[in-house]
Amino acid sequence: MRLSTLILPVRRWSEGGREVWQRAEELGFHAAYTYDHLSWRTFRDRTWFGAVPTLTAAAGVTSRMRLGTLVTSPNFRHPVTLAKELISLDDISDGRITLGVGAGGNGFDATALGQEPWAPRERADHFGEFVALLDRLLSEDVVSHEGVHYSAHEVRNIPGCVQRPRLPFAVAATGPRGLNLAARYGQAWVTTGDPKVSNGGGTPAESHEAIRGQFERLGKACADQGREVADLQKIMLTGFTPDRPLDSVDAFVDFAGHHAELGIDELVLHWPIADSLFEADVAVFERIATEGLAQLAAR
């Protein structure tokens, strides 16, 4: 089990932004991720910075911890320009970048560029072409592509990623088309649990069972792609299930144990933010970061 954190881009770099990324590395987190949104839910009218510049700055003040997005989506990104930024970011970080990527949803990002929100089938169509083209752009020196949604004309991406053949993809998916993308292109798969359980007032046990079902569907998708499901890392972004792992170290250890049994091998905890969905006791959070996995191993 690995333990990582997610730092929302809500702090000015000169007013605590730098320190929180440095503190994440000091606490020993495997990775620190950030959201790649233009704005998000209750933070729409609050401070919110861009993911790529934030990760670039974080790369400059850390040296060991992996960095990445959870997640980037096609809602306002184009594979050609994104690939250039990712190759640059991978170079600046000396090969520490993971691209978390998902289909996106109907939030603010979906209409910020003046378009109508995509229907679920349209989102899946964009997502499939987006990931496939990114895969080529990040692993080939010259790429041309004429697709339904995206085109690339003799695009050069030299020298390519530090990580070879390209930086890893962590594909967030629960539906059949997304799981097939994870099985085909992903080095990791990401889940946040089942929103039907969480939004419907479900219990932790019901959430665990829903995630078990996601694992079964992921296994089938891998089999369809001729791939072993064990080849993928399984990442869970916490904070969206009925569980409360940040209430105490014991609560975290119980939570981590249940999800390790399901097959999760990396848990991502949101860095606490006051007056938000992610409010938590910072002292308890830091104890979880430094003691939680050791207590889990000792069970």
Residue 138 has pLDDT above 90, yes or no: yes
Residue 200 has pLDDT above 90, yes or no: no
- Taking residues 180-207, what's their average pLDDT? 95
Q: From CA 178, how far away is CA 124, in angstroms rounded?
A: 7
pTM for the model stands at 0.96
Residue 124 has pLDDT above 90, yes or no: yes
Residue 299 has pLDDT above 90, yes or no: no
Segment 80-95, tens digit of pLDDT? 999 999 999 999 999 9
Instruction: Kindly list the structural domains of the chain, giving each domain's residue range(s) and its CATH number in brackets, ordered by start.
Output: 2-298 (3.20.20.30)
Segment 173-191, tens digit of pLDDT? 999 999 999 999 999 999 9
Q: How many residues does the chain have?
A: 299
Segment 218-229, tens digit of pLDDT? 999 999 999 999
- Taking residues 6-11, what's their average pLDDT? 98
